[in-house]
Every structure is written in C-alpha cells, then in structure tokens.
Amino acid sequence: MNALIEFFRPHLLPLLYALVIVAVLPLIVGYIVLVERKVMADMQARLGPMRVGPHGLLQPIADAVKLLIKEDIIPENADKMLFWAAPLISVTAALLALAAMPIGPKFQIADLNIGLLFILGISSMGIFGIVLGGWASNSHYSLLGALRSAAQLVSYETAAGMALISGLLLAGTLSMHRIVEIQAGAGVWFMFLAPVGFFIYLVASIAETNRAPFDLPEAESELVAGYMTEYSGFRWSLYFLAEYVNMIVVGSIATTIFLGGWLRPFPNVNALNFLDAFPPLLMLVLAGYCFYRTPKQPVKVQKGFLAAVGLLCLALAGVLGVVLAPAAAAFKTPVHGTFWFLLKVFLYLYVFMWLRFTLPRYRFDQLMKLGWHFMLPVAIVNVMAIAVALVLHRPREAGGLDWGLGASLLVSNAGTLIVAAYLAAVGQRRASPVVGGA
C-alpha cells in the first residue's frame, strides 16, 4: 500500500491541476463570451446582456442550460460516428495543449523540455475536428467552410511558428518554464527585443483561431457558420468552446514567449516594487464597486449574487495582500505570478475583441495574400535578422563582433522593418487599379 502511495504521490498535483483546467476552463470561457458581448455592446452604445442576474452575470449559466436542453439534430445522410467525434477532437486538442503551459511558477501540469513543440503540435491537431466535422455533415456549405479553415490555418500557422522562433533564438530552449526564467534573468521581456516577431504572432494568432477580421471559415453572412452549419445544441457549442480555449492557448503562448509569463512589469527594477500592491488593490476596487451596486439591484436574488461576487473579490484581495507579508514571502511569487499571467492573457484576448468590432472582414484572396505574400516573408527575414544579431553579439573569440545585445537587435529589427515596408509597397502597387491604357 505504501509503495502504491509513493508511486502516485508525484502525480497528485499534476492530476489536480488537470482537473482544475477541465472543470473551471469551460466556466471561464462562458464568462469570456459575456465580456466579449459587453465590450461589443459598449462599442455600439448599448447595454448587452442584462436580464439574467445582475448586469447579466448569470447569462453564461443560462446559455449552458439552454444548449444542454436544445434539440439535437443530425443530418440523415451524415457519418454519425464522425459527426459525434469531430467536436470532441477539437476540444480535446485545445485542452490538452494547456498541459505544458506554465500558468504560474508552480501551476503547470508537466514541465517538458520540448514544451513549446508539444503545445504547437497538439493544438494543430484541432484542425482535424474541423475538417472531419465539415465532411461528416454531408453538406457543401460545411465542406467549403472546413476547407477554407484548413487553408487559413496552414497559411498563418507557418508565419506564427516562424515568429515564435525569434523568441526561441533569444531563449535558447523549448521549455516554457525556462523561457520565463531567462526573461527574468535578462530583466526584459522578449517583446521589446523582438517586437516584429511579437506583432507577426499577434496577427497570425488572430487568423489561426478564426477570429475577425479573419473569420472567413465561419462567416455567418457568406457561409451560414461554415463548417458547423449542420451542428446544433451542445455539440455546436463544443466548437465554440474549442475556439475560445484556443484563444486562451495562443494568448498564453504569447504571454510566455514575449510578455514575461508570470513576471510583473520590470521585475528587476526595485523602484517599481510598488507594483506588487496592484493585485490586491485591483481586487479591492472590484469588491467596492460590487458593494456599491448591490443596493441598486431590483431583485433580492440579484442583490445577493452581486454581494457574493463582492465578497469573493474581497477574499481574493485578502489572499493577494497576505502574501505580501514577510512571513508569507514563499507564497508571493506563485500567487502574484498567477495573477500577472492571467491578467496578461486577458489583455491579449481583449485585443482580439477590440479588433473584432473595429475592422471589416477580409476577402479570402486578401486573407491568403496577407499570409503568403507579406506575413511569411517578413517572419522569415525576422528570424534571419535576429540570428545575425546574436552572431554580432558574440565575443570576438567566438567569431562575433562583441556588439551590445541592444544595438545588434536594434539594427536587425530596423532591417526587418525596411523589408516589411518594401513588401507592403509592392503589394500596394499590385493592388492598385490600372489607370488609362491603350
């Protein structure tokens, strides 16, 4: 019995972390959807969901219940087994990709030495769920949407991978945990050392997750929701769950590679240590706002729920504040690190929402041209330029010129921007209509 306990002891925490992700993430996704609807409503000068719960805070729960009891329709000539399995493939691949993601210095299921390669390989398998779903539906609309999604994913995943290589060149490792530690030792986020790579990954990750203005595979006005045309009920929602989990995955990758992971801004600058008080202060402000709005709710149930949210924020503020005490210094980095990581991921997702309600949708030819004629060449040039900068940074004994890292990277990024400007000008000339003629 003791031998069995000793065998399972190292796996207890990873198992607990996995259960937390599987159990809590769908709820988080529901509230990300609520935040997106609220942001959209604010940009369009309206209120958004307000009926279910105070300020619509219970709307995700109502949506989940509605989808569970909604009629499930399967096309008569569909391949029923693949029709059932396709959404599960997409969701499973998205959730499994989080296994190697360090959400904080301690919260990680598996610290793999090939962590980034594992995440990219597993998340790329989600396209099988989309393609199989479109094919199994026995619908031309669904099949066209699936093929469009596959073409888009291949186009932009290549550019995204090349952009991530710029961060890997600076880190020299594939371990997600080690990449954050190297940024902590350098005292600077890789976003400031490789800004072009970060921008390329930002744009490519939007397209890779089928988000507007790159949401051609599921464009409601042209394709009637694309590859999920024939899906209804809870299986339809699984595709959206996979999409939003993939958004969290790409946001977590960008946070880890380019934004310092769980590190607070400028962690090595002692003059900015007051930022350690930001997490508990933010929770206190949210708690105060909830208590301020509680008496103004029209129904007792809504008053009680909003008061409970305020108490939860107050409890979180207490936890985040207690770890600042010298006696709890060992818990400061894990607790505050998780807070900073989640805050960065949320801000990254907010950019997704902001762009969705700001930019018009691309045409499919524009989508392909941007990916192949601009994004991919610039990403390749960026990788080559950073590699040259690292060679220039080497000491003379190792074959370099002993330049400072900042100077060499400044030159390399400037060269990449010149190439990007040239490609943009060439693309603009090709897109311009011909004036005059014979």
pLDDT at 432: 63
Q: What is the pLDDT of residues 74-102, one digit of tens each?
A: 888 889 999 999 999 999 999 999 999 99
pLDDT at 140: 84
Distance between CA atoms of residues 374 and 163, nearest Å:
13
Q: What is the pLDDT of residues 17-33, one digit of tens each?
A: 888 888 889 899 999 99
Indicate whether this model's pTM tops 0.75: yes
Contacts of 242 (CB under 8 A, 6+ apart): 87, 90, 91, 93, 94, 126, 129
Q: How far does CA 97 lie from the centroid of its chain? A: 12
pLDDT at 437: 46
CB atoms within 10 A of CB 79: 16
The stretch 106-115 carries a mean pLDDT of 89
Q: Is pLDDT of 434 > 60?
A: no
Cα atoms found within 13 Å of the Cα of residue 190, Cβ hemisphere only: 28
Q: Is pLDDT of 201 > 90?
A: yes
b/e map 397-429, b = 16+ CB within 10 Å? eeeeeebeeeebbeebbebbbebbeebeeeeee
Q: What is the pLDDT of residues 290-320, one digit of tens each?
A: 999 999 888 888 889 889 999 999 999 999 9
CB atoms within 10 A of CB 319: 16
pLDDT at 223: 54
For the chain, the average pLDDT equals 88
Q: Is pLDDT of 8 > 70?
A: no
Contacts of 238 (CB under 8 A, 6+ apart): 87, 88, 90, 91
Q: Is pLDDT of 235 > 50?
A: yes
Structure tokens at 173: 């490792």
The stretch 13-20 carries a mean pLDDT of 86
Measured CA distances, 33 to 57, 115, 246, 366 (Å): 11, 28, 14, 28
Residue 344 binned pLDDT confidence (cut-offs 50, 70, 90): very high
Q: What is the pLDDT of residues 249-266, one digit of tens each?
A: 999 999 999 999 999 998
pLDDT at 7: 61
The stretch 36-54 carries a mean pLDDT of 89
Q: Is pLDDT of 180 > 70?
A: yes
Q: Where are the domains of the chain?
A: 13-46+68-263+357-431, 270-356
- What does DSSP assign to residue 318? H
Distance between CA atoms of residues 120 and 246, nearest Å:
11
Q: What is the CA radius of gyration of the chain?
A: 24
CB atoms within 10 A of CB 70: 13
CA angle 195, 182, 196 (to 5 degrees): 10
Q: Is pLDDT of 286 > 80?
A: yes
Q: What is the pLDDT of residues 115-153, one digit of tens each?
A: 999 999 999 898 899 999 999 998 888 888 888 888 888
pLDDT at 2: 62
Q: Is pLDDT of 403 > 90?
A: no
Residue type, 15: L
